[in-house]
Amino acid sequence: MSASSSNLSSKWTTFLGLGVVALVAVWVFAFLGLGHHDHRPALSVLLGCLFWASLLIGMLMLTMITRVFDAGWAPVIRRNWEFMIGALPIVLLLGVAPLAFLPDFRHLLWEWTDASHILPSGHEVGHDPILQAKSWFLNEKFFLIRIALYVVFFGVLAWAMRTWSFKQDTDRTAGHTHTLHAFSAAGIPLSAVALTMLAFDCLMALSYHWFSTMYGVWFFALSIRLALAGTVILTYRLSNGGWLDGILNQAHRHVLGCLMLAFTVFWAYISFSQYFLIYTANIPEETFWYNIREFNPVTGLKSEWWGVSMYLIFGFFLTPFLALLFYRSKIVPARLLTIAIIIFLGGIVDLWFNAVPRQIVDKTAPEGFTVSPFLCGSLATDLLAIAGFGAIVIGLFLRSSTKAETIPVHDPRILESINYHE
Amino acid sequence: MNERNERIHGVACTFRKPADVFHAAEKVRDAGWTRWDVHTPFPIHGMDQAMGLERSKVPRLTLLGGVTGFITGCLLTWYMNSFDYPLVVGGKPFWSPIFPFPVMYECTILFAAFGTFFGQFILNRLPRHHHPLFDLPHFARVSDDTFMVVLEASDPKFHLDESRNFLQSLGGQEITVIRD
């Protein structure tokens, strides 16, 4: 087992190298886009960064939740989350942070930061009363402070969850479990606030007229879904020629499958509730956000984005939901893996749906604007950015795995976790 | 077969240790018994497999209940708002899958819960106010420090003397015939 683990871990430089090459390429595209005032390549960087940040925030939450609940099944799986979350501040530093701190990218992506930007109504952002009313929160200085705080907060929390857990491998102190229990109890509510604000700033503020109080919960639901799907994919690989060979059992898969089912329902509940309230209230400030995701403002017909939203309902919710209802889907490794891949890829579609459509000023259009298309060349840079950030995350994960035992051998619940039974 | 006494419910046999009753259960399973049971003071991991039990059929009734509930919710809202008494509310269509979704969703959950609750009632043959096992003086001890295997007379393999000998061969302590 140890030979295959070290084989895996030694590939970290390859992954990191590939990731750096991909990210350099994506950033080059972003700078080229800057030249002709095209925000879309910069949005690819943001999407790649947020996809992995979301997954890692989910894993950080799962780490803390299983700590707080003293989950007996968790330790052998949680160690892999601890290896993963070290990459969280780095992912934010390579994506969101430079996009926010470099003024050109900031003005391009977050239109409200550019006072001279012209809105479809013909007014300048600087004279927009809606922005003025929100300016206590949406002002550049506070925005940048918040972005910096996310990096520091998630970085420190991830560092703490890793450090005390890794210490336990060498000094065999049960007290570290209590320390981490306390950190987690404080970390969960703070992370809930932080991830909500992160979703507001990085995604909701891309379209600053619109607001939804459910948005943070939606982001949390997506994060946990991605984290669980990522965990299933990761542990599948690690139990076939990795350090979970012979350790990961049917009951571990079953519990991950049950959680995937629960959060699939939770995601649908939150996403539908947001739509349902806006549909019922029917207030123009809110409905425009869904209208640009359903209709082409020039022709008035259903657009590509309508197809994307139907995919979210039937491909991202209904298919995994119906599949996960069956017990055998949760215990047969290949079936669980297939469902996890569907959820993992669906997460990209959900981010596309939330981040990409925006009103682009076009004087010739009847409404004064068009909507960014779904099908365009930038889908390739999106996927390149997601692959690039992914390679960096996996590289850092493998590097972390050389720094501690690959299962937490002195965790007080390690035997319970290894012998976990349905 | 004519020796089978209809007034006998079965044969009970006690064991002192979880491991003993576990291995006894495996042997009863391998001998091909279908109508029998094991009583223990606490859950024993792996007993389901040792007894050769299949997974419960209750989830199928839950699914059936859920699907019934969803369809009921659809029909209910369609019949009331769009067919029997069409009414414009908030400028919305008479019927669409969106605004009445909470009704459909709640009906799904309600009927799925009915399916689960009444399903287990039917599958467990409840309600039932008495069981012949309760007449055994030492049956109460299976909730304390005793483990018990019961072979029921309704099993086609049941034969009073042979079953008694079989239980003895499993290392059972106290073997009792249970009368109806």
What is the reported pLDDT for B179? 86
Distance to chain B for A246, nearest Cα, Å: 19
B97 touching A (Cβ < 8 Å): no
User: What pLDDT band is residue A422 in, cutting at 50, 70 and 90?
Assistant: confident
- Please report the ipTM that was assigned to this predicted complex: 0.84
User: What pLDDT band is residue A366 in, cutting at 50, 70 and 90?
Assistant: confident
Measuring CA to CA, how many Å separate B132 from each of A178, B21, B161?
Answer: 50, 21, 20
Segment A227-239 shows an average pLDDT of: 97
Give pLDDT tens digits for A106-126: 999 999 999 899 888 888 998
Residue for token digits 């019927």? B95
Q: Do residue B98 and residue A282 have CB atoms under 8 angstroms apart?
A: no
B45 touching A (Cβ < 8 Å): yes
Q: Distance between CA A32 and CA A167 in Å, rounded?
A: 46
Segment A182-189 shows an average pLDDT of: 97
Instruction: Say if residue B5's pLDDT is above 70.
Output: no
B101 touching A (Cβ < 8 Å): yes
Q: Distance between CA A140 and CA A391 in Å, rounded?
A: 32
Residue for token digits 């739509």? A275
Q: Count other C-beta atoms under 10 Å from residue B44's C-beta.
A: 17
What is the reported pLDDT for A30? 96
**Rounded to the nearest 5°, which phi and psi values hold at B156?**
-60, -20
* Cβ proximity of A336 and A330 under 8 Å: yes
B46 touching A (Cβ < 8 Å): yes
Distance to chain A for B14, nearest Cα, Å: 26
Partners of B98 on chain A (C-beta within 8 Å) are 275-276, 279
Mutate to test the interface with B, among A271, A279, A310 (most CBs of B within 10 A): A279
Give pLDDT tens digits for B87-131: 898 889 999 999 999 999 999 999 999 999 999 999 998 998 889
Give pLDDT tens digits for A291-330: 999 999 889 899 999 999 999 999 999 999 999 999 999 9
Task: State the alpha helices, DSSP H only, in A239-314.
Answer: 250-281, 284-291, 304-311
Instruction: Say if residue A2's pLDDT is above 90.
Output: no
Q: Do residue A282 and residue B63 have CB atoms under 8 angstroms apart?
A: no
Instruction: Say if residue A364's pLDDT is above 90.
Output: no
Mutate to test the interface with A, among B60, B98, B109 (most CBs of A within 10 A): B98
Q: Do residue B98 and residue A279 have CB atoms under 8 angstroms apart?
A: yes
B91 touching A (Cβ < 8 Å): yes
Instruction: Say if residue B3's pLDDT is above 70.
Output: no
Q: Distance between CA A383 and CA A405 in Å, rounded?
A: 33
What is the reported pLDDT for B2? 44
Q: Distance between CA B139 and CA B9 in Å, rounded?
A: 14
What is the reported pLDDT for A3? 52
* Cβ proximity of A197 and A153 under 8 Å: no
DSSP B15: E
For B100, nearest residue in chain A (alpha carbons): A276
Partners of A275 on chain B (C-beta within 8 Å) are 98
Q: Distance between CA A219 and CA A351 in Å, rounded?
A: 10
* Cβ proximity of A55 and A233 under 8 Å: no
Segment B13-31 shows an average pLDDT of: 94
Using a pLDDT cut of 90, give the percent of chain A over it.
90
Query: Which member of B45, B46, B90 has the closest CB to residue A280?
Result: B90
Q: Which residues are registered as beta bridge partners of B14?
A: B148
Partners of B96 on chain A (C-beta within 8 Å) are none
Segment A33-38 shows an average pLDDT of: 91
What is the reported pLDDT for A120? 86
- Mean of pLDDT over chain A: 95
Half-sphere exposure of A347 (CA within 13 A, CB side): 30
For A281, nearest residue in chain B (alpha carbons): B90
Q: A235: which residues sit within 8 A by CB, 6+ positions away?
A: A77, A80, A244, A248, A252, A253, A256
pTM as predicted: 0.92
Q: Do residue A282 and residue B45 have CB atoms under 8 angstroms apart?
A: no
Q: Distance between CA A167 and CA A185 in Å, rounded?
A: 20
Measuring CA to CA, how many Å separate B44 from each of A286, B140, B173?
Answer: 56, 18, 19
* Cβ proximity of A60 and A161 under 8 Å: yes
What is the reported pLDDT for A4? 56
User: What pLDDT band is residue A75 in, cutting at 50, 70 and 90?
Assistant: very high
Residue for token digits 């003024």? A103
Q: Which residues are registered as beta bridge partners of B15?
A: B147
Q: Do residue B90 and residue A276 have CB atoms under 8 angstroms apart?
A: no
- Mean of pLDDT over chain B: 91
User: What pLDDT band is residue B180 in, cutting at 50, 70 and 90?
Assistant: confident
Distance to chain B for A73, nearest Cα, Å: 15
For B56, nearest residue in chain A (alpha carbons): A327
Q: Do residue B55 and residue A327 have CB atoms under 8 angstroms apart?
A: yes
Segment A329-337 shows an average pLDDT of: 97
User: How many interface pairs between A and B have CB atoms less than 8 angstroms apart?
Assistant: 19
Using a pLDDT cut of 90, give the percent of chain B over it.
72
For B67, nearest residue in chain A (alpha carbons): A322
Distance to chain A for B164, nearest Cα, Å: 34
Distance to chain B for A198, nearest Cα, Å: 30
Secondary structure E strands in A341-399: 359-361, 369-371
Q: Do residue A276 and residue B55 have CB atoms under 8 angstroms apart?
A: no
B93 touching A (Cβ < 8 Å): no
Q: Do residue B102 and residue A280 have CB atoms under 8 angstroms apart?
A: no
Nearest to B154 by CA among B54, B34, B51, B39: B34
Q: Do residue B91 and residue A282 have CB atoms under 8 angstroms apart?
A: yes
Greater pLDDT, A159 or B1: A159
B42 touching A (Cβ < 8 Å): no
Distance to chain B for A237, nearest Cα, Å: 27
For A265, nearest residue in chain B (alpha carbons): B105
Greater pLDDT, B112 or A368: B112
Query: Which member of B90, B91, B101 has the closest CB to residue A272?
Result: B101
Q: B5: which residues sit within 8 A by CB, 6+ positions away?
A: B153, B160
Distance to chain B for A381, nearest Cα, Å: 35
- Region of B90 on the Ramachandran plot (φ > 0 left; ψ -120 to 50 alpha; else beta): left
Encoded amino acid at A138, one letter: L
